[in-house]
Amino acid sequence: MAQEKSMAAPDLLRRAKLLKQGAEARVYRAEFLGKPTIVKERFPKRYRHPVLDEKLTHRRTVQEVRSILRCRRAGISAPVVYFVDYTSHCIFLEEIICSITVRDHIASIQQCDTSKDSELEQLAERVGQILAKMHDEDVVHGDLTTSNILLRRITESGEYDLVLIDFGLSYISALPEDKGVDLYVLEKAFLSTHPNTEALFEKLLKSYTASSKKSSAVIKKLDEVRLRGRKRSMVG
Amino acid sequence: MHLTHKLELFPDQKVTQMLFKEVKNAAELRQSAVEGKINAALINPTMLVNPFQVLVAANKAVHLQKTGKMKTRSLYSEIIFNLSPNNNISEAFKRFGISDGDTSVMVVLVHSEDESKLLADITARVSGQQVPVEDVSSLSDQAKIKKLYKVTPLEEKSGTLLDAVVCRMAIKDVM
């Protein structure tokens, strides 16, 4: 039977709501099988050679969904994958409702309510824990920022859980160097987005160190990366 | 009673689920299905958590049929195969398809328009009592499902069984 690219997803997306457009993909919101769904479309990059583009896009899509399942198996909250269209490179994921990004949460606390320091500290601790868990599963997120961690409200009294999203640049690696770089990326993003949070990030790292079984090698690499800048490992 | 959902990706296609209990002719139904004489997927409802699980399998099956990438020979066998967390086809049929001694059946049809005649045809062929599709969760053998899908205890704490099942169904081709 002829293998054709399905136009079904692109057609659906024409009617869906575009949430954001990045260099890599477009993110939409739609209803799918009766559930509120996020559709991540990795569109073709015309500046790349088509054969390479297809291979790279496919690989990134596959890595993204594998990392999500790997995290979920370890009890880390990440959106459920409902469907993957490998012909148009679209991932249909659970929309996490009743949530805000850690970025917005920190920003709002810093702006309006300076008495909630202990709440921020607890948040930093929990982020450290969840990242430790993720790295212990040998999942490297690749794009750790406070916009990619969601705070999801679970009870009215303010209990929440943390949900990791956007595994688009993630991959499986046991190397402390890769995990160190992951933390370095978060550190840069954290400190540049949220002023005067050096102590808070330190708390995050402390929590990470305490929660991860393989942390000492990772922190060591983090220190090395801080000195020289990232992605300059001599490991091929 | 029955549940019909229009596939958002394939607007001319609808998926209808019908659940039957106290089924007396499972063997005959299974034989008809094997001979290709029933235009429906006959699923063992004890392996189902929720009708959403069936929708996910059906959506993927229709997609693969349209792109010429089905792993099995028909749309209905593909729906059954898609429910499985692994890529072994005969095992999927054994576990998710009905067996001769089964007393409940979930019937799934994919059709384009008016379904009333199709539903009547099916209901006539099943020797059993039709019940609301939502009742399927009361038939779920959770222990069996957890074991087959290899749901970890950690996963159970942070999400629902349905989440774990659907995620594996969606990603199994690349795991």
Q: Is the dihedral of CA B17, B20, B24, B26 positive or negative?
A: positive
Which amino acid is it at A100? I
Q: What is the pLDDT of residue A232?
A: 58
Q: What is the pLDDT of residue A1?
A: 43
Q: Chain B residues with CB inside 8 Å of A84's CB?
A: 170-171, 173-174
**Cross-chain Cβ contact B66/A1 below 8 Å:** no
Average pLDDT over residues B104-115: 90
Is residue B166 within 8 Å of residue B56, measured between CB atoms?
A: yes
Encode A146-157: b = buried (16+ Cβ within 10 Å), e = exposed: bebbbbeeeeee
Nearest to A83 among B5, B157, B170 (CB): B170
Q: From start to end of chain A, where are the E strands?
A: 17-21, 26-32, 35-41, 81-85, 90-94, 99-101, 139-140, 149-153, 160-164, 171-172
Banded model confidence at residue B26, pLDDT cuts 50, 70, 90:
very high
**B157 touches A at CB < 8 Å:** yes
Q: What is the pLDDT of residue A164?
A: 97
- The full set of domain ranges for chain A reads 13-94, 99-230
- Each residue's pLDDT tens digit, A115-160: 678 889 999 999 999 999 999 999 999 999 999 999 999 888 878 9
Which amino acid is it at A219? I
**A80 touches B at CB < 8 Å:** yes
Residue among B53, B58, B44, B50 at smallest CA distance from B15: B58
β-strands B14-21, B3-6 pairing: antiparallel
Average pLDDT over residues B61-84: 95
Q: A13-94 adopts what CATH topology?
A: Phosphorylase Kinase; domain 1 (3.30.200)
Q: What is the pLDDT of residue A230?
A: 60
Task: For B61, name the nearest residue in chain A, comparing CA atoms only.
Answer: A83
Nearest to B171 among A33, A65, A85 (CB): A65
ipTM: 0.95
pLDDT average per 10 residues of sequence, chain A (236 residues): 72 91 93 96 94 95 96 96 96 94 91 78 95 96 95 86 94 95 96 93 96 93 86 60
List, edge to edge, every strand of the sheet that includes A81-85.
A17-21, A26-32, A35-41, A90-94, A81-85
Task: For B5, name the nearest residue in chain A, comparing CA atoms only.
Answer: A33
A9/chain B closest Cα distance in angstroms = 6
Q: What is the pLDDT of residue A3?
A: 57
Q: What is the pLDDT of residue A109?
A: 87
**Cross-chain Cβ contact B52/A9 below 8 Å:** no
**A33 touches B at CB < 8 Å:** yes
Superfamily of domain A99-230: Transferase(Phosphotransferase) domain 1 (1.10.510.10)
Q: What is the pLDDT of residue A158?
A: 77
Which one is predicted more confidently, B126 or A113?
A: B126
Is residue A212 within 8 Å of residue A132, measured between CB atoms?
A: yes
How far is the first Cα of chain A from the last one, in angstroms, to the nearest whole number? 41
Chain B interface disruption, residue of A38, A72, A137, A150, most B CBs within 10 A = A72
Q: What is the pLDDT of residue A2?
A: 47
**Composition of chain A by helix, strand, coil, percent to 5:** 45, 20, 35
**Cross-chain Cβ contact B155/A30 below 8 Å:** no
Question: How many cross-chain Cβ pairs, A to B, lie less than 8 Å apart?
Answer: 94
**A198 touches B at CB < 8 Å:** no
A212/chain B closest Cα distance in angstroms = 16
**Cross-chain Cβ contact B52/A34 below 8 Å:** yes
pTM: 0.92
Average pLDDT over residues B94-119: 90
